[in-house]
Structure 1
Amino acid sequence: MDRRHFLGAGIAGATGLTFSSVWSQAAPNFGAPTLPATGYKRLKVGAMEVIALNDGALRRPLGEEFVRNAPLEQVKAMLASQNLPTDYVDIPFTPYLIVSGNTKFLIDTGFADNGPPTTGRLTVNLAAAGYKPEDIDHVIISHYHGDHINGLRKKDGSAMFPKAKLHVPAPEHAFWFDDTKMNAAPPAAKGAFENARRVMGSFAADQIVRFEPGAELAPGIRAEAAFGHTPGMCVFRVSSQDQHFVYVADVTNIPSLFARSPDWAVAFDMDAEMARQTRRRVFDMLVKDKTTMGGFHFPAPAMGTLEAAGSGYQFKPLA
């Protein structure tokens, strides 16, 4: 497929993320997704702490559309080789809390009460880890797909994190608020633009801090460009006392497919070739440096390391 086709498909995929109940229409045939018994995982990074917080998961029937550049039978074979089901995939949603002294940074949000019934668990798991939404000082957004931003507000319009300053990638914000790009998008893709504008446009200008890739958002927290999945997505490196953790956002969707076969394109990658290059660049770095990492769609505990495996990578979760 050419780049333009992938871009249109990716924006349409983003619309699916916005209205995620569409995903679950056939899901009852396969039962409910498996949720972790413990919904959070702590990791010390020098003097800082990183906590993975499960917001739930969605069970999605596996069809031809999910991996856009590989035959379905090949995709099923990859899952079967890992003793995973082949008729569906479970897609977890995992924001991350960074605790630095008395300051709390939440990276991405999940759904709050705006998503399917098997999502919206962030508040419960945040409480289990010892925190409340009111404790969050800063919310950092990796990109504007609905599962990453819809949890900023509840259904009733109130702010989920009422005291938090909002930090967003400048190129990502510019893309979704560009009228020319929205008007040029195919009709099925306009929902992603509308959702981004509805959510992000509900905040006052002085509540939003736009940052450039490469910026240090706070001591020990740096944004790094990871374009492709969306035009302005960033990943985040947490560093303290010579220890490091990297949150890779959606550099890969579920790693059992897109880390093991990093050249495959998930339906939601808006520029598939750029996403592929980013995936290999970021994952090669993580393997070389043996850096502990986590991703938004990684299985619980959603933190671990990557190792080279064949032509791709294998995720090794923390014990």
Structure 2
Amino acid sequence: MNLSRRQALAGAAAFAAAPLFAAKTARAAAPLADKQAPSFYRYNVGDAQVNAISDGANTFPLPDTLVLNAKKDEVNAALEKAFMPKDKMTIHFAPLVINTGGKLVVIDTGNGPGAFAASKGKVGQFATNMAAAGIDPKAVDMVVISHFHGDHVNGLLAADGSLAFPNAEVLVPAAEWKYWMDDGEMSKAASERMKGLFVSNRKVFVDGLKKKVTPYEWGKDVVPGLLAVESVGHTPGHTSYVLSSGSDKLFIQSDVTNHPSLFVTNPGWHLMFDQDPAQAETTRRKVYDMLVADRMRVQGFHYPFPANGFVEKDGNGYRLVPAPWSPAI
């Protein structure tokens, strides 16, 4: 059957003008849902199983200085190109639970119960989504922290101040621990944001964990098959990881980039949350050139869920190609 464009448009117009259902068949509408299904996604890297667990997403008015070296109009143009609304920003959060076959390992812990209460459940969902995925926090052997920002460490403590992972060893980057626990560095903090980070980190690691952490060094496995990789700039001790099992590898980039529609596409843009923006850019380009060359899958903490894919070169920047979603593990 051949259908002309004119016939198709005429048919569409007729359909639009007609009522969807005749009045005599009308039924009371079912109540609208008010929440999504629990958000977790699993895939295998060799013999290891990666569980991406959503901690939610935070939407806020677009700050004039979200990108320090680009005008707000340029940022809005990038948002529109990505089919995202102008003048607002949505940042996603995706901690991981990795089952290596011998150990159950959490990488970063989300915004925590305080943020869950304050946001009315928009963020801080890691604990509830982990439970929905059938993962018992008491069964976690190790919690590996990439850096000391609240959206990565505040989930170490439960709402009552107790340990969220009571049987887990907490591993932290040695360089990150040294910086945030240094009273001299704390005294030099200039911005209110940095002062607040020093205070909140002391509450988590000193008051909450009583400094019971294990520092780890770059260039070594924090657990068998999980290599700690220096990726500084976002913070002085910011760390990424390579998960290896057999011939399969995954790069876990932590915060090398924030939202990919802005910072993968424009690797030279400097994010307001990067402590050393120029160093962060150097790290970002180095990491993404490696991902392109090696065709390695990447998991991004701030990518839209389920937050993983592959990277290709695209002009002066890069393009994230989301990994195909699979109903099977």
State whether TM-score is above 0.5: yes
2:246 equivalent to 1:241: yes
Match of 2:285 among 280, 284, 290: 280
The DSSP-based 3-state class of the residue aligned with 1:154 is coil
* Cα pair 1:228 1:272 within 8 Å, conserved: yes
Distance 1:35 1:283 in 2: 35
Residue 69 of structure 1 corresponds to 69
Deviates more, 1:271-280 or 1:123-132: 123-132
* Cα pair 1:36 1:300 within 8 Å, conserved: no
Match of 1:184 among 179, 185, 188: 188
Match of 2:179 among 158, 175, 178: 175
Distance 2:35 2:244 in 1: 30
2:257 equivalent to 1:252: yes
Alignment of 1:110-259 (within 5 A): 110-115=110-115, 116-117=119-120, 118-186=122-190, 188=192, 189-201=194-206, 202-205=208-211, 207-259=212-264
The DSSP-based 3-state class of the residue aligned with 1:89 is strand
The residue type equivalent to 1:98 in the other structure is: I
Once the two structures are superposed, residues 264-303 of structure 1 have per-residue CA deviations (whole angstroms, 9 ceiling, x without a partner) of 0111000000000000001111111111111111101111
* Cα pair 1:234 1:249 within 8 Å, conserved: yes
The DSSP-based 3-state class of the residue aligned with 2:227 is strand
Residue 42 of structure 2 corresponds to 42
Percent identity between matched residues is 40
The residue type equivalent to 1:183 in the other structure is: S
Match of 2:294 among 272, 289, 293: 289
- How much does 1:130 deviate? 2.0
2:309 equivalent to 1:304: yes
Deviates more, 1:59-68 or 1:162-171: 59-68
- How much does 1:102 deviate? 3.8
The residue type equivalent to 1:77 in the other structure is: A
- How much does 1:37 deviate? 4.6
The DSSP-based 3-state class of the residue aligned with 2:113 is coil
Once the two structures are superposed, residues 32-89 of structure 1 have per-residue CA deviations (whole angstroms, 9 ceiling, x without a partner) of xx99755111111111111111011100111212111100101111111122211211
Residue 94 of structure 2 corresponds to 94
The DSSP-based 3-state class of the residue aligned with 1:231 is coil
**Unaligned segments of structure 1, at least 5 residues:** 1-33
Instruction: Tell me: CA distance 1:35–1:252, structure 2 relative to 1, closer, same or farther (3 Å).
Output: farther
Matched residues, number = 285
Residue 18 of structure 1 corresponds to none
* Cα pair 2:57 2:91 within 8 Å, conserved: yes
- How much does 1:98 deviate? 0.9
- How much does 1:147 deviate? 0.7
* Cα pair 1:143 1:172 within 8 Å, conserved: yes
TM-score (norm 1): 0.86
Instruction: Tell me: CA distance 1:198–1:270, structure 2 relative to 1, closer, same or farther (3 Å).
Output: same
Residue 19 of structure 2 corresponds to none
Residue 79 of structure 2 corresponds to 79
Instruction: Tell me: CA distance 1:291–1:38, structure 2 relative to 1, closer, same or farther (3 Å).
Output: farther
- How much does 1:312 deviate? 1.0
TM-score (norm 2): 0.84
**Unaligned segments of structure 2, at least 5 residues:** 1-33, 325-329
- How much does 1:135 deviate? 1.6
The residue type equivalent to 2:277 in the other structure is: A
Instruction: Tell me: CA distance 1:307–1:37, structure 2 relative to 1, closer, same or farther (3 Å).
Output: farther
Larger RCO of the pair (alpha carbons < 8 Å, separation 6+): 1
The residue type equivalent to 2:87 in the other structure is: D
The DSSP-based 3-state class of the residue aligned with 2:97 is strand
The DSSP-based 3-state class of the residue aligned with 1:127 is helix
Distance 1:312 1:268 in 2: 20
Match of 1:261 among 266, 273, 289: 266
